[in-house]
Amino acid sequence: MKKSISKMYEVIWNKYHKAICSVNFYGNSGSKLFGVTGFKYGNRIITDDIVYNLKDINKVIIRFYEIDGLKIFKELKFAAKDFRKLLAKKEELRDIGFTYLLLNEEQVDGLQSLELCSNCEPEIGLQILTIEYQIELNNIGLKPGIISSYAQNNKGYTMIQYDGFVKPGTNGAPLIDLKTGKVKGIVANKELYIVKAFKEMHRIADNNIEKLEQVKGKWTFDEIDPIQVMIVSQNQLMYAAKGFYNHFCVKVGCALEINYLKDLFDLGREPDFE
């Protein structure tokens, strides 16, 4: 008798939940700057390449979770400089949007490992799932979906379009074939328009503030500096935009096909690090 769909989800969760982690970045003040999803493949953690771009990082904490998706099973802490030493060289990654870091035997002890699809073909209508970090709840969760289409990004890479709930923190999550339990793609929701629009808004606001700072204090009206008022308004706009971005939820996601990544993440290949 064939397994029910719900039983298949349960089997994959039980088998692989300890392969999924959150990768959390903290600043000098101890405040959390951002968090993304990662997953274990062999002795490597595959995750989003935002790790190369974040500034003012003081420490990085990687967390793996118990079967409830909430309690911490294993926590790995790194000073920022030590974490960067574990990362693959950015130049070797072909700007695919992802990277990996190498862990030692003690660090991977007790963790599960995902398998990559060895011969992936386009399969519209295929039932998939993601196991991803939910940044607002500080847990990991299973999200069902289907492959709805394929698209090409502006770098020429084929992207899997899937239907399923998509929220911040999911970048780097594995897109798993429900039938085989193997990874067909890696979630790349920074390709979504809403994410690109937020980044562009952030860039414009930063540029505006930088220019306004250059003329701050040159004019006052009734002891009020209009430039300072404009700076405050730009910061308020960004605060509101960040709040919206951190809680957005859409029903269409993107994932990079695993075919682009298998040679980079080949376990028999000697990795090249910074």
For 9-45, what is each residue's pLDDT tens digit? 999 999 999 999 999 999 988 888 889 999 999 999 9
The structure tokens listed for 32 are 């959390």
For 63-77, what is each residue's pLDDT tens digit? 999 999 999 999 999
- Is residue 175 within 8 A of residue 185, CB to CB? The reply is yes
Ranking 85-89, 105-109, 172-176, 236-240 by mean pLDDT, the lowest is: 236-240
Tell me, rounded to whole angstroms, the distance of Cα 225 from its chain centroid. Answer: 41
Residue 259: predicted pLDDT: 85
Domain count, the chain: 3
**Which residues span the domain enclosing 159?**
127-188+251-259
Residues 153 and 39 in one domain: no
Residue matched to tokens 């606001």: 205
Residues 37 and 157 in one domain: no
Residue 240: predicted pLDDT: 65
Residue 115 forms part of a structural domain: no
Supply the pTM of this predicted model.
0.78
- Cα separation values, 177 from 104, 107, 116, Å: 28, 27, 10
Residue 39 forms part of a structural domain: yes
Residues 17 and 83 in one domain: yes
* Sheet strands side by side (includes 98-102): 72-79, 57-65, 20-27, 32-41, 44-48, 98-102
